[in-house]
Each structure stands twice: as C-alpha cells, then as structure tokens.
Amino acid sequence: MAKSIPSSGAGAVRIILKNKDNFHFSLRNKGQEGDRTSYLYDVFYENATGTLNMMVKDGVVEIAALNLSLGKVITLDSDTNLKKLCTFVLESEK
C-alpha cells in the first residue's frame, strides 16, 4: 500500500511521484486555442481525489494546478515538482 497524502497536503506531489502506480487519472476535457492546449484530468490517489488542470504551449507546461479533495490547491509556483507530474501524465497518455 502506498503512502497516503497527509491531511495538510504537504509534499503531495512528491508522494504521488514516488508512488506512480497508485496514481490514476482520466482525461475529462481537452481544448485547443492557437498553439495552446488545455487539459483537465480527474485524478485519484489513495486517500485523495481531485482535478489536474494544465495549459501546454509548444510541448511545455506553462500553467498547472492540482486541486485535491484535501482542500489543497498546488500550483507550479508552490511546488516545482508539479511540472514533473504533468509531464508524467501527458507522456502516459501517448
């Protein structure tokens, strides 16, 4: 069993990255506007559910937010590991 995310949400992205097999996601919406593509995923991990929103331009994640049911919203500004998680999700979809 993978490590659960603490109720404070501290280190959530790092925990998910270390336990990728227990992280599940489903594409809910994909939109294109010019050279920008937006993605909205429903995400599930052990004790948390939520959404992952991201905007990709020229293959680079420029904006991202992970909104967890724990009441925690994680952005690229608050956790640089979020870009790694977004890249993992996008590459897994190929």
Q: Which residues pair with 49 in a beta bridge?
A: 44
**Is residue 29, in this structure, part of any structural domain at all?**
yes
Cα–Cα–Cα angle for 79, 71, 16, nearest 5°? Answer: 45
**Is residue 70, in this structure, part of any structural domain at all?**
yes
Which structural domain, as residue segments, surrounds residue 40?
A: 24-92
Indicate the number of domains in the chain: 1
Q: Is the pLDDT of residue 81 over 90?
A: yes
pTM: 0.92
Q: Is the pLDDT of residue 12 over 80?
A: yes
pLDDT digits (tens, 9 = 90+) for 47-73: 899 999 999 999 999 999 999 998 889
**Is residue 73, in this structure, part of any structural domain at all?**
yes
